[in-house]
Amino acid sequence: MFIPLPKSRPPRILVTRADRIGDFVLSTPVFEALRGHFPKAWIAGLTSIENGELAIGNPFLDETLLYDKKGREAGFWGNLRFARKLAKKNFDIVIHLHATNRMHWVSWLAKIPVRIGWTRRAGWALTHPYADVKVEGAKHEAEYNFDLLKELQIVAPERLRPVLTTQVKSRASLDELVARLGITTTKPWVALSPGASCPSKRWPPERFGALADELAERHDIELILVGSAVDRHLAEKVQGAARTSLFDLTGRLSLGMLAALFERTRLLISNDSGPVHIADAVGTCVISIFGRKQPGLSPTRWRPLNPRSTFVWKDVGCVECLAHRCEIGFLCLDAIAVHHVMDQVARYRHLLEPAEVAS
């Protein structure tokens, strides 16, 4: 497919990814690749208003657009107003990294000349549609993003690297909270994230509690619980199951503060969820815990990208994975014992020594 580009000026390019936190973070390698290929282009990133703190300040973007699908941009008239806003920006190309009816409609209404995306939603609104095969899970989500760039002569780099820039305000807010709670800064921090968007992705919180005890017994560290406000009940179960004390920051951190926390954290142990990719993007080592056997939901597609990070996953022989509709009690998650995770923690023991903590 031929993609027409303006000849008299650099192109104006819009990239959209307005779904979940981790999905947006895994889109950031596309920003870097576009900047490298079109150094003089005007490149804008569009994401949900909830992801704003992670998008603002990205070094490869000239502009960040925030989409408030539950507020200002809700409903037909909200989307029409947003389309008019986009039309005034005179974008030449939009690349939809995630297929949604709303995004495809809005770019069509805005009359952006080149509209690239997956056919799974409103494919008629695209000028350059691609069959959405991501459910096959043959490669990483970040690699699939680059399939949409082929006609722009851009290929995926050998190492895909998500990029986030933490803000001074977020770091200052974190410092204030750390001081108020009395979290020791001279000990290595290990963060535990027991939340996830689906029960088929949640390792039992009681196991996280037992894991906290094992970690505290073997290492002189500070253990920190993280998660959103909806994860409060999980955090309470973790604390109830653990003998050791944990600092519970669940629901107390903005996404910007969470990224700043991970910058200072030696290791994150987390379910397959957004915090994995935030930590990965700021260089924190991650152990990600996976359930589910569906190829499109597997570690092949959603593992942390940092080669220093790893994951734990057990194949319990399910012929068909029903994900959240599992009828056998999420046996894949139950098969992961605390010692399986601790075996992976051993890879990072050098990071958990106080001497490794910067003064």
- Tell me the pLDDT tens digit for each residue of 155-180: 999 999 999 999 999 999 999 999 99
DSSP percent split of the chain into helix, strand, coil, nearest 5 = 45, 15, 45
Residue 112: what pLDDT?
98
> DSSP class of residue 3?
-
Per-residue pLDDT for 38 more than 80?
Answer: yes
- Domains plus CATH for the chain? 12-152 (3.40.50.2000), 168-356 (3.40.50.2000)
Average pLDDT over residues 249-266: 97
Nearest to 65 by CA among 86, 87, 51, 45: 45
In sequence order, what are the residues at sequence separation of 6 or more whose Cβ sits closer than 8 angstroms to the Cβ of residue 358? none
Residue 357 has pLDDT above 50, yes or no: no
Q: Has residue 95 got a pLDDT over 80?
A: yes
pLDDT of 358 above 50: no
- Nearest of 271, 284, 311 to residue 166 by alpha carbon: 284
Sequence-distant (6+) residues with CB within 8 A of 198 are 323, 324
Question: What is the four-CA torsion angle of 298, 143, 263, 340, rounded to 10 degrees?
Answer: 20
Q: Which residue has the tokens 């924190």?
A: 284
Nearest CA-CA partner of 149 in 315, 27, 257, 238: 27
Question: By the 8 A CB rule, do 112 and 11 touch?
Answer: no
Instruction: Please say if the pLDDT value at position 322 is more than 90.
Output: no
Read off the pLDDT of each residue in 30-44 and give the average, rounded to a whole number.
Answer: 97
Quick one: pLDDT band at residue 2, thresholds 50, 70, 90?
A: confident
Compute the distance between CA of residue 90 and CA of residue 38 in angstroms, rounded to an integer.
17
What average pLDDT does this structure show over 81-108? 96
Q: What is the pLDDT of residue 293?
A: 79
> What secondary structure letter does DSSP report for 45?
E
Question: Any idea which of 186-190, 207-211, 355-359 has the lowest mean pLDDT?
Answer: 355-359
Q: Kindly report the average pLDDT of the chain as a whole number.
A: 94
Q: What pLDDT does residue 355 have?
A: 60
User: How much is the pLDDT for 12?
Assistant: 98
Give 190-240 pLDDT, tens digit per residue. 999 999 998 989 999 999 999 999 999 999 999 999 999 999 999 999 999
pLDDT tens digit sequence for 293-316: 788 888 999 999 999 999 999 988
Assign 359 a pLDDT band (cuts: 50, 70, 90). very low
Task: Give yes or no for residue 84 having a pLDDT over 70.
Answer: yes
* pLDDT in the model for residue 333: 93
